[in-house]
Chain A
Amino acid sequence: MAERGARARRLPRAGTLIRFAAFAVLVLFLAMPESFAPVFAPLTTNGAPAIYDRAPLIDLTLAHLGTVAVASLAATVVAVGLAVGVTRPAGADFLPLSRSIVNIGQTFPPVAVLALAVPLFGFGERPTLFALFLYGLLPIFENTLTGLTRLPPAVLDAADGMGMTARQRLLKVELPLALPVILEGVKISTVIGLSTATIGSTVAAKGLGEVIIAGLLSGNMAFVVQGGLVVATLAVLLYDSLGALERRVARRTGRRTG
């Protein structure tokens, strides 16, 4: 990631320009998809529609983003809470095990988590939300743990020396200093969630996966490509903007993220 940072500093204008262009094209496409029909027409056969027409793309995009946002927000709150818990003296007994659970949890494939959630929650948004939440927990928890356990001991001693209570130290020193690393976890989790949410459409959740799957079922490559491109563009833009936020926070706290 250091590589990416160095490159961004060297070519700030070109990178920003490309991102703005991508964003503009995405907004334009979602606002008036029909005007892009000639672009996708070569990918269709037998006069099939070039643009997904069973639901407005903008609605699907917003539903998709909404699902990811709700799941990521819930995952962030719970994961940061858990990580703070196991790094306090009262929760120290749980620290080693929580690490190994995270390690094991990451071996669970997203499709399996989603599929196993269906018998529990039925079809629709709920299994998708649950799977995204569960899958989103791990990167955030891991990063928060890293952020909180690798703080310079001198800083913590200074906080104690100033007579801060444990609560003040957590809120004013530990969490702010760990924030860039936590945000990186949120970034990873959100981008994975964006991609995983497309699989949610196999269990009838509303989202952009619907477009891709409709394309696969009817052999319409135009649907597959436009669904995939929208999700991929969203992922890149989200990754970059969360990365920018992370760098800004890191500069403020004077620490570098990994």
Chain B
Amino acid sequence: MALAIDRLGAVTAALAAGAIALLPFATFRANRIVAGDPVAVWAALPPAAGLGVAAAVLALAAVALMRTPPAVRLAAAVAGLVLLLVAVGLAATHLTPEGDRYARVAPAAGFWTGLFAFALMLADAVVRLRLGPLARIGGLAAAAAVFAGLFALRVFADLSIVREYGVRAEVFRREALAHMTLALGSLALAMAVGIPAGVLIARKAGLRAPVLNLLNMVQTIPSIALFGMLIAPLGWIAATVPGASAVGIAGIGMAPAFVALFLYSLLPMVANTFVGITGVSRTVVDAADGMGMTRRQRLMAVELPLALPVILTGVRIVLVQNIGLATIAALIGGGGLGVFVFLGIGQTAPDLILLGAVPTVALAFAAAVVLDALVALTGKAPP
């Protein structure tokens, strides 16, 4: 193999090398509010280790720069990501004075840019290898396992975001659970209502325009406003309908957030079911009729299975969107990971913002990977 330069790799290599050489790797702050001092990678770790990390990143960047087989690039990208994660964890331990509980060491621009560069390399390798759906899910599970392993080994224990977590581990578990309940619960309800509604408007042409226009209109209401507007009607229901408050319906808190997410979820579910059902080819429908299937049998055995990839695409849109939007619930007392985001914004504590935002992004990303794989497994990916 001749030494040739990979043009895309040149960009990632330049990013990774520049990040490690020119940008601060970590930020040291005496406490969680004050402005921080930037620290380069060789200063953030014991000298030998710091230079070792820098050299390793440059070597991995060279793998990206040269034309190398995709499998090698994949391995190099994974190695780069793990290296940066471990290095930033160790840097935090190294920089924090022994026994100091107030000092905060946060990842800085160099770390994030390097992470981005290797993530880019990883995405590129995955595209080049044309990894199948099962391999992608496997990769995701492996990544989660590695991360959990590093966490269990307390590699990250002195990082600022983990310190914020350490102070409120109990609350974090509760809010993460609330976040998932909001996102998945409203998805389940939207599927239970939206799929039959989609089938209905596929059958009754007259209902189509009104239903879709109404759901389109719901989408234009800004999320904060919709969450807020539901407080009044739900409060009224809780106060007047006997037993409503006993099942958790209340003006503020989770109920309005749940209903708002459900309303936003309806359009993708209804529209995708409708498109999926009407996209089933005429000849297939005729064949089903010719076999003497009842309408119900045709729907269950032919139309819905054939529409499944398109319906699952709707589920993907809804789930990713819900995981993101559920952060807004915190503004109306509905809980979820947004609690940390808005608390962090209020206290100008970036670490606390990260504690809410990073898990949200990770959840949304994982949901997208898993559902993309499911869409690919159930049939040809829709256009």
Q: Which residues of A contact B (CB under 8 A)?
A: 3-4, 7, 43, 93-94, 96-97, 99-101, 103-104, 106-112, 115-116, 118-119, 123, 191, 194-195, 198-199, 202-203, 209, 212-213, 215-216, 221, 224-225, 227-229, 231-232, 235-236, 239
Contacts and interface: CB of A to CB of B under 8 A. Distances in A.
Interface residues of B, number: 52
A231 B229 CA distance: 13
Contact of B228 (A111, A115, A228): A228
Nearest to A231: B222
Contact of B361 (A103, A109, A239): A109
B222 A104 contact: no
Contacts of B226: 228
Interface stretch (B83-91, B121-129, B292-300, B303-311): B121-129
Contacts of B123: 97, 100-101, 104
Contacts of A209: 222, 224
B338 A111 contact: yes
Interface of B: 6-8, 120, 123-124, 126-128, 208-209, 212-213, 216-217, 220-226, 228-229, 231-232, 320, 323-325, 327-328, 331-332, 338, 341-342, 344-345, 348, 350, 353-354, 356-357, 360-361, 364-365, 367-368, 372
B357 A115 contact: yes
B126 A199 contact: no
Contacts of A227: 222, 225
Name which of A115, A203, A239 has the most chain B CB atoms within 10 A of its CB.
Answer: A115
Contact of A236 (B208, B220, B228, B320): B220
Contact of B341 (A3, A111, A194): A111
B332 A93 contact: no
Nearest to B6: A93
Contact of B220 (A97, A110, A202, A239): A239
A3 B225 contact: no
Nearest to B119: A104
A41 B186 CA distance: 32
Given A93-B7, A107-B368, A236-B220, A213 B357 contact: no
Contacts of A228: 221-222, 224-226, 228-229
